[in-house]
Amino acid sequence: MVAGSGALLSCGVALPVEPLPPEDVDDVAELPLGVVGHCFPGTTHSSVILQYLFQYRTPSVWCAPSMNPSELIDKQIADLTDWRGKMLANLRNIIHDADPEIIEEWKWMGTPCWYHDGLISVANAHKDKVKLTFFQGASLPDPDKLFNAGLEGNKWRAIDFHEGDRINERALKNIIRAAVAYNRAGLKGKTPADARGIRAKVHKK
């Protein structure tokens, strides 16, 4: 990245730099020793998280501009040959089962994202967990207490899944549908409280 340019060069292609999801910033303590406080050539200290992502996420994925977001997510899952790949695949299936109209996107040079009338959630595979973060999580009902990370934030909430964890599909689908309802309510000018009582329509393929 050229300092101040707002773009990162990968395979000779300038990639726009978007704000990183807060969960990546929250996990700065998990960065390998030697990353924090050091810069790659031509970078600034403030881009340390981006540097880490650029170094450790699969270069072959970034170098495939012809692949669509769903294909990129397929590849990321295939590259995760341990339990994290299976977990990410299961979470992806649950998201689409909850609302088949959700659209997949690929952001931040390696982050699967799901949208419906706005951002619903993003997923990241860390060395010891798979994190599913909800953009409006702080405004969503969670009677089953699935959220277990980012609980002090004003907006985001996350669920950390570790090896051997079982997914509460019913509760997770309820959160996903509540997130879609929240986005829809925002487009219609309703209050967040109104959104909590709205369920997304599920359309068969």
Calpha distance 49→121 (Å, rounded)? 20
Q: Of 19-23, 84-88, 186-190, where does the model show the most confidence?
A: 84-88
Per CATH, domain 69-195 is 3.90.1150.200: yes
Better pLDDT: 205 or 58: 58
Buried b (16+ CB within 10 A) or exposed e, 12-21: eeebebeebb
The helix/strand/coil state of 104 is strand
Mean pLDDT for 5-29 is 43
**pLDDT of 65:** 56
Residue 81 binned pLDDT confidence (cut-offs 50, 70, 90): very high
**pLDDT of 108:** 86
Buried b (16+ CB within 10 A) or exposed e, 152-161: eeeebbbbbb
What pTM was computed for the model? 0.66
Mean pLDDT for 69-83 is 97
> What's the alpha-carbon Rg for the chain, to the nearest Å?
17
Residue 204 has pLDDT above 80, yes or no: no
Domain ranges of the chain: 7-62, 69-195
**pLDDT of 190:** 58
pLDDT (tens digit per residue) in 89-137: 999 999 999 999 999 999 988 999 999 999 999 999 999 999 999 999 9
Q: For the chain, what is the mean pLDDT?
A: 75
Cβ atoms of residues 46 and 40 within 8 Å: no
**pLDDT of 20:** 47
Pairing assessment for the beta strands 7-10 and 13-16 based on DSSP bridges: antiparallel
**pLDDT of 170:** 98
CB atoms < 10 A from the CB of 140, how many? 22
Calpha distance 28→24 (Å, rounded)? 7
The one-letter amino acid code at 60 reads S
Bridge partners for 24 per DSSP: none
Question: What is the percent of the chain where pLDDT is above 90?
Answer: 56
Calpha distance 17→28 (Å, rounded)? 18
Bridge partners for 122 per DSSP: 113, 133
pLDDT (tens digit per residue) in 143-202: 999 999 999 999 999 999 999 999 999 999 999 999 999 999 988 775 544 444 433 333
In SS3 terms, 1-62 reads as: CCCCCCEEEECCEEEECCCCCHHHHHHHHHCCCCCCCCCCCCCCHHHHHHHHHHHHCCHHHH
Residue 46 has pLDDT above 80, yes or no: no
Phi/psi of residue 88, nearest 5 degrees = -65, -40
